[in-house]
Amino acid sequence: MSPRRKTRQISLGNDRTGVVRIGGDAPVSAQTMTAGYTHAIDTCVAEINRLAAAGADIVRVAVPERKDTEALPEILNQTQVPIVADVHFHYKRALEAIEAGVHKIRLNPGNISDREQVNAVIDACKERGLPIRIGVNEGSIIERKDKQKRAVELGKYFAEHKSGHLIALMIAKLEEYLDIFDAKDFHDVCISAKSMDPALTIDIYAEISKRFDYPLHLGVTHAGPKETGCIRSVVALGTLLANGIGDTVRISYASDPVYEVEDALEMLYCLQLRPRIGAELIACPTCGRIQVDLFTLVQEVRKKLAAEISLPIKVAVMGCVVNGPGEAEGADVAVFAGDRRGIIYVQGERVANVTEEEILERLLEECRKFQAMVQRGEAQLGQKKVEIVPPDPIGELGSGFDKIAHHQVEQVTVGRT
């Protein structure tokens, strides 16, 4: 992991929603966008609240029409997470959204480029202390109105320098747009430059991170459904974050946006960029030694843990006792299946041996009990590791732990600088 790149910092929200800071020394935030109509107030409020409950730090809403900005005051009244108005084509939607009380504006230089219009939005945001995201993306960066210019840009785009041309175009557009903001001495800005191509996304952000010190909003646009979009997004965003680039992330799926939030948070937890909230579930992939219906069990455990456990308890669900114990080392609560039964351990101590049907409820009961003990100060997370001797011998080579204990292997210390 590389150290985080130093950026300016912006903030959005208020006492009611909580203030979210982006950039500087703020933790990387996870944001998402509603999938329904903003003017359908009740469903929009329900969706925003569902996304906030899933852990979204910021929620963006589309405001394509006047009726959408008219719905904002009521939506803001009924929600408690900072709201961003996503504005395309009509700068007046931005002015209306600002007037309604949103906490941030997103402008797309690809479709709002009139200097006077941008100035009007900057002035309104300045007056209220609101930040603006300048978000260019691949789909709208190529000229659309001027046919001659479009033909030239498309020609270059599809010629041999496709990616280089696109990156140059995005940077040029960002520089041109930022000149307007500089002229107004407005620096409450966050920038994004999204592509549908994960490799291109990595290249674009690596380049803009060298050129601008504004916080970066990362995303792969139009990544597809969760099943494939997850890989496309995490490959690009995870690579950038591991290299210290990125201050807020939005994963975009053609699926329920709750998945966007869950996956963004899991990515940030895995990269140790955010302290984990809720249980961490590890599970074996299963193999020919499997002793129970593990796939069903794991899904049920996952849902129940998400609903009931708030501490970062490490829970392992393993399909057998042959390799399971080694793979579950470090878990606070673990179950190993064997002959249609489950043997449950809490921090290395065997606490139950139950039938397959009883595993789910008993495992959850042990998780709840363990959580309560941690909350009362009677136990600590990760204090004792699960150490169970598997039934078959490890062999004459012995385990890594033995070798470390006898100084036969040098310990490696890793740490993030």
- What does the DSSP 8-state code read for residue 355? E
CA distance 309 to 74: 32
Nearest to 8 by CA among 213, 301, 263, 242: 213
- What does the DSSP 8-state code read for residue 357? G
Counting contacts by CB under 6 A, is residue 329 touching ligand SF4?
no
Q: Tell the smallest beta-carbon distance from residue 346 to ligand SF4 (Å).
A: 19
Beta strands 314-318; 280-283: pairing state: parallel
Counting contacts by CB under 6 A, is residue 275 touching ligand SF4?
no
User: In the block, which residue shows the tokens 């982006």?
Assistant: 22
Q: Tell the smallest beta-carbon distance from residue 364 to ligand SF4 (Å).
A: 20
Please state the separation of Cα 325 from the chain's center in Å: 31
Instruction: Specify the residue, 142 or 322, whose C-beta has the smaller distance to ligand SF4.
Output: 322
Q: Which stretch binds ligand SF4 (CB under 6 A): 62-70, 105-113, 151-159, 281-289?
A: 281-289
Q: Tell the smallest beta-carbon distance from residue 297 to ligand SF4 (Å).
A: 12
Q: Tell the smallest beta-carbon distance from residue 356 to ligand SF4 (Å).
A: 14
Please pick, from the candidates 62, 94, 305, 318, the single residue that binds ligand SF4 as defined by CB under 6 A. Answer: 318
Residue 85, Cβ density class (10 Å: 0-12 exposed, 13-18 middle, ≥19 buried): buried
Instruction: Specify the residue, 305 or 320, whose C-beta has the smaller distance to ligand SF4.
Output: 320
Q: Which stretch binds ligand SF4 (CB under 6 A): 19-27, 204-212, 263-271, 316-324?
A: 316-324
Counting contacts by CB under 6 A, is residue 290 touching ligand SF4?
yes
- What does the DSSP 8-state code read for residue 358? G
Rounded to 5 degrees, φ, ψ at 91 are -65, -25
Q: x/- binding map, residues 359-398, to ligand SF4, per CB under 6 A?
A: ----------------------------------------
Instruction: Specify the residue, 154 or 389, whose C-beta has the smaller distance to ligand SF4.
Output: 389
Q: Which amino acid is residue 105, in one-letter code?
A: I
Counting contacts by CB under 6 A, is residue 319 touching ligand SF4?
yes
Counting contacts by CB under 6 A, is residue 356 touching ligand SF4?
no
Beta strands 9-14; 18-23: pairing state: antiparallel
Q: Tell the smallest beta-carbon distance from residue 338 to ligand SF4 (Å).
A: 10
**Helix axes of 359-375 and 294-308: crossing angle, nearest 10 degrees:** 30
Alpha-carbon distance values, 224 to 232, 233, 377 (Å): 8, 9, 45
Counting contacts by CB under 6 A, is residue 322 touching ligand SF4?
yes
Are the C-beta atoms of 130 and 188 separated by less than 8 Å? yes
CA distance 251 to 287: 32
Q: x/- binding map, residues 100-119, to ligand SF4, per CB under 6 A?
A: --------------------
Q: Which stretch binds ligand SF4 (CB under 6 A): 59-67, 280-288, 309-317, 387-395?
A: 280-288
Interacting residues toward ligand SF4 by CB under 6 A: 284-287, 289-290, 318-320, 322-324, 327
